[in-house]
Chains A and B, each alone.
Chain A
Amino acid sequence: MGTDGEQVVPESSQTAVQYELDPTFVNSRREAIVIFFCWFVAMCWAVPYCYFNGYNIADPAEIPTTFGIPSWIIWGIGAPWLAADLFTTWFCFCFMKDDELGIAGDEEHLQENQGGEE
């Protein structure tokens, strides 16, 4: 059996049981790739921007400010932080799938009485 394919895989001709990649795994992997990309973009924005605008300033005593904070902090960290929060909101409520996680043996007897707790 291939270990990376996503096709339906027959277990054997005798039992005729077939398998497909677990959708929870597929969705998790897709979401993890997007998250890693998000982290990479955040780093590519924040670090270079701060490097070119916050390091080796010619006249630091007259540093430009936005909302009273050094502008290189606002646009290098504050703005991407806001963007990251907006991205996180979109990711959590529009992109991430609700998947079945299964039931562990130790929680089977709890299922009848409760559905977890807040």
Chain B
Amino acid sequence: MLNSLPVLLGQSQSGNAVLVTFLIYIVAVFVIAGLSNKLLQNRNFLSEYFLGSRGLGVWAFALTLAATSSSGGSFMGFPSKIYSHGWVLALWIGSYMVVPICVMGLLGKRINQVARTSGAITIPDVLRDRFNNVTFGLISVALIIFFMTFNLVAQFKAGSEILRTLLGPIDAFNSMVDSMPSWFSSLTSVSADYLFCLVVFGIAVIVYTTYGGFHAVVWTDVMQGIVMVVGVIIMLPLAINQATSVIGEKDSQKTGMALVTAEMAEMLPPRFGEATLSLATIATEDFAIPPGTWIWSKDEAGDKLRLFKTRKRYVIPQGTSDVTEAEVLEIVSPDDIQRAEDLLVSIQHKSTPRLSGLIVTAPQTKKYVSGADEPGAFVTAPGPHRENPDGFLPLSLAISFFFMWAISGSGQPSNMVRLMAFKDTVTLRRSIFTVALYYSAIYFPLVIIFCCARVLIPGMESEPDRIMPQIAVVLTENIGMGWLAGLLIAAPFAAVMSTVDSFLLMISSALVRDIYQRNLNPEATEAKIKKLSYIFTLVVGFGALLGAMNPPEFLQDIIVYTGSGLAAAFLAPVVYALYWPRANHQGCIAAMLGGFGTHLAMYCVGFLNGDGFTPYRLLGSDPIIVGLVASFVTGFIVTIKSPPPADSIVKKYFYKKVEG
């Protein structure tokens, strides 16, 4: 039988591979930044630094857009959701079948043309020039800075968490963290390893983005995009092969993925709760219990064994024998329990997080609210859920996500900026095709891979965000190629880095171009603009890094809020600006503020209802849908009730002179 239980990441071969890959990766990023900086010479600085001189070809344009859209969520959050909820994630991500053509095709050609006509470098530039209205430009700058700043802090934290997940179990990394001076860890209330990863991640991304500008971001995106797709292509056959090997002896009638699906159909969701972890004797020294430790315990009747797994690190202090209210997870699927026991026995010689002499007493675990005790929850919709009685993906949310990915993606300013940078329409056509193939090669295979992971690694609901690095280690070690884990694990790190660098440059461009050059000092020399661009990018980057040192709560919710909020605010005004000659600045400002305000109102109502950062869902829909409808309707009504735009503007952007 294959070794598929969570072994500790970072032992020997895999740990070294991760570290070496990470170092090679960082070096490559800096080399790219250096080469990009050379391109800044002899070109218009602003256009080159923030827009790559509008010269992106197929590979650069396609992969930078694909990589920027695939944030860390694609390789950490998405796998975690697949593992936790099963096949229904294929429906959750289903609209990615049309995301490339929507995100690039709906606005691409036209926004590129309008940006060239007006000489715009940023999205606020486009809106300001299209309507010849300074106020509109400033409102859009304010919204971009508002949303992006929160998002940037959240992404910095995500980057640090990913790096900590990847490097955490490596001895060399822990030694480095331990050797940090005491003042270093006193900078923040969070752990020293988080802070160390934040500083490493932050400085790397700030320096290469500042030094290389847009081209550095684009070419690192290309490298990161290649890493992502190669990782998925390698993992897919390994996952199917190894999962079917693990369960192959059970059912000779089925083969391949049919075996995996049949096994998943019998699985039951685990139970979460608290318990007391006890030693048989008083601890003579502090007794550490790592996260993910497996513990067998007899039930109250004493005739049946129950299998638990710890979710956090706990320490039984010297002179005591237990720790109370420890968060645990109980595996209840008979097959999962059997497989876990078989594998624990088969890999006893390895350093697995299983401690002898430890027992669980007084466990208080709760079933999932939806899908508990129902075989088949992982192969049908809406999927199991711990708290929502309607399941993971009720119909209203399935519809919302079809809006969310395809339509909301079209309204992201970070994507719009890239649409202003491709060279010509041939590039656009080929890039849409390339990204369609790219997403097809990534997202559907990811669903298959992490459904296989349910079979290969039981009990990872205890630390679902670690499933990606964990599966990489298991798959490669099972074929005796642990070094390959380094490449696979680089994918999520690459994904979050490519998102952070784009956001960093967007905020910087809003400050330098949209506020300073266009409002405060239009006559600024190129040397001054250059200096300010470097300074602002550095300042914004380090500001976000400082913010992430003491990150606020609800960061994942903030990422969701800012992503959908930007779409609610920007999509309608940009669509009207590009495609409706009658559109005027009054209508588009109303559309922007209407979308922003309505979307924000959904969150405020949710907060006032006592749901924290969970928004109010009107008719069960995500706030993005309500925000977009409000934005388009408000914009339309205000436009037709206000005077038409000047003839000169309409002619400039919608008409061309006829010869003769």
Residues of A within 8 A of B (CB): 1, 3-4, 8-9, 11, 17-25, 27-29, 31-32, 35-36, 38-39, 42-43, 46-47, 50-51, 54-55, 57, 59-63, 65, 67-70, 72-73, 76-78, 80-81, 84-85, 87-89, 91-93, 96-99, 101-107, 109-110, 114-118
Q: Which residue of B lies closest to A88 (CB)?
A: B436
Q: How many residues of chain B have a CB within 8 Å of chain A? A: 90
Per-residue contact bits, chain B 407-436, to A (CB 8 Å; 1 contact, 0 not): 100000000000000011111111011001
A19 to B460, CA, bound (A): 65
Query: Does chain A have a CB within 8 A of B450?
Result: no
Which of B60, B116, B266, B578 touches A118 (beta carbons < 8 Å)? B60
The answer to whether A24 and B109 touch across the interface, beta carbons within 8 angstroms, is yes
Known: A22-B656, A43-B95. 6 other contacts (CB 8 A): A20-B656, A28-B110, A54-B88, A63-B376, A65-B258, A116-B57
CB contacts (< 8 Å) of A65 on chain B: these are: 257-258, 261-262
The answer to whether B91 and A117 touch across the interface, beta carbons within 8 angstroms, is no
The answer to whether B265 and A60 touch across the interface, beta carbons within 8 angstroms, is yes
Q: Is the interface of A mostly helix, strand, loop or mixed?
A: helix
CB contacts (< 8 Å) of B97 on chain A: these are: 42, 46, 77, 80-81, 84-85
A29 to B111, CA, bound (A): 11
The answer to whether B425 and A97 touch across the interface, beta carbons within 8 angstroms, is yes
Query: Does chain A have a CB within 8 A of B170?
Result: no
Q: Which residue of B lies closest to A16 (CB)?
A: B660
CB contacts (< 8 Å) of B517 on chain A: these are: none
The answer to whether B395 and A54 touch across the interface, beta carbons within 8 angstroms, is no
CB contacts (< 8 Å) of B261 on chain A: these are: 63, 65, 68-70
Query: Does chain A have a CB within 8 A of B353?
Result: no
Q: Is the interface of B mostly helix, strand, loop or mixed?
A: helix
A60 to B436, CA, bound (A): 32
Which of A8, A35, A78 touches B101 (beta carbons < 8 Å)? A35
Which of A8, A38, A51, A101 touches B112 (beta carbons < 8 Å)? A101
Which of B87, B98, B658 touches A20 (beta carbons < 8 Å)? B658
Per-residue contact bits, chain B 641-660, to A (CB 8 Å; 1 contact, 0 not): 00011010011011111100
The answer to whether A101 and B581 touch across the interface, beta carbons within 8 angstroms, is no
The answer to whether B119 and A101 touch across the interface, beta carbons within 8 angstroms, is no
Query: Does chain A have a CB within 8 A of B271?
Result: no
Given contacts A20-B655, A24-B110, A70-B379, contact A110 B116 (CB under 8 A): no
Query: Does chain A have a CB within 8 A of B399?
Result: yes
Given contacts A93-B429, A96-B425, contact A104 B54 (CB under 8 A): yes
Which of B105, B258, B402 touches A47 (beta carbons < 8 Å)? B402
